[in-house]
Copies of this chain bind each other. A is one copy, B any other.
């Protein structure tokens, strides 16, 4: 059995707690002979600032480069609200994404049957919802230059951010979306603002060009503002939704919230496939560091455990093991296991560790 090298970056807030549950699962998979892992740990985000003065050390980045995949918990919190922009906790995550070339962020928005009731939307609108958001992750306004604040002659300030997209960047993310659609329902929606942004014009143009090679996939262009509306109005109209870094940030959060399963959604950030057929990858929950509930055994570890399942699937070619783990999550839920965030009011809930145990038991 191949041993897979995993770098664990628990990060801040509830990150370490949910990562501890993944370690339980990793231990079980190893003992059961399903998958073997060699794990290392390091710091990212606020905890790295506290220890080293920067949110990601060069050594941690080198470890990430050397690993077969990275699992990340969450970064940030009010404790670091006043550190300089350049060394804020989020900068550690952004550096990982950029330097590892993780341009394709896959964010499934799945409504677990047991949780349809927890959605803000009417049940019939979200029951069976299964969207795959494909967000471009290393371009756009997140990384474009100039990105600066200057002081004007009168003492007031001027801030600039730059959204840049090239044909190549759009082409490769479009292919990820179309390839995924082929394995799913064969439909892609592409969201941009071509009526206002030049990057939207190029986005639409390149996605249309790439589509010519995927005649079997249906493509729809939608304006990002309308897309946000449609996600609320009739989310099940979407299957694969491809969009840029900034719209993807907002639209994927809307989609995640719709499902009623916010604490349960994993994500994968993938790089290009290299000559040896492997690719850099980072897996993390869609939820944040939730400092308000950190350290209280309240966090839901299922998004983090689901992120390990995505790693099995996308990094290690262990689709069956991934199905097994996803199935264990579904079974644990069907068996009534609930953390506080997804338990109906007035009912008893499991803690973080209890939920981890429930998944291991279901395995």
Binding site for B on A (CB under 8 A): 76, 85, 88, 90, 94, 120-122, 125, 141-142, 144, 147-149, 152, 156-168, 193, 195-199, 201-203, 224-226, 228-229, 232-234, 246-247, 249-251, 253-254, 256-258, 262, 288
Contact = CB atoms under 8 A, between A and B. Distances in A.
Contacts of A254: 228-229, 232, 254
B196 A225 contact: no
Contacts of A85: 198, 201
Contact of A76 (B165, B195, B229, B232): B195
Contacts of A88: 195
Contacts of A141: 141, 161, 163, 196-197
B163 A161 contact: yes
Copies of this chain present? 2
Given A149-B198, A149-B202, A199-B161, A232 B120 contact: yes
A162 B225 CA distance: 19
A314 B258 CA distance: 36
A163 B164 contact: no
Contact of A225 (B201, B233, B249): B249
Contacts of A125: 120
Contact of A233 (B120, B167, B233, B288): B120
A88 to B, nearest CB: 6
A166 B157 contact: yes
30 contacts: A85-B201, A88-B195, A90-B195, A120-B121, A121-B121, A121-B232, A141-B163, A141-B196, A149-B198, A149-B202, A152-B166, A157-B167, A158-B166, A159-B164, A159-B198, A159-B199, A159-B202, A160-B162, A160-B164, A161-B198, A162-B163, A163-B163, A196-B249, A225-B253, A226-B288, A228-B250, A228-B254, A228-B257, A232-B232, A247-B250
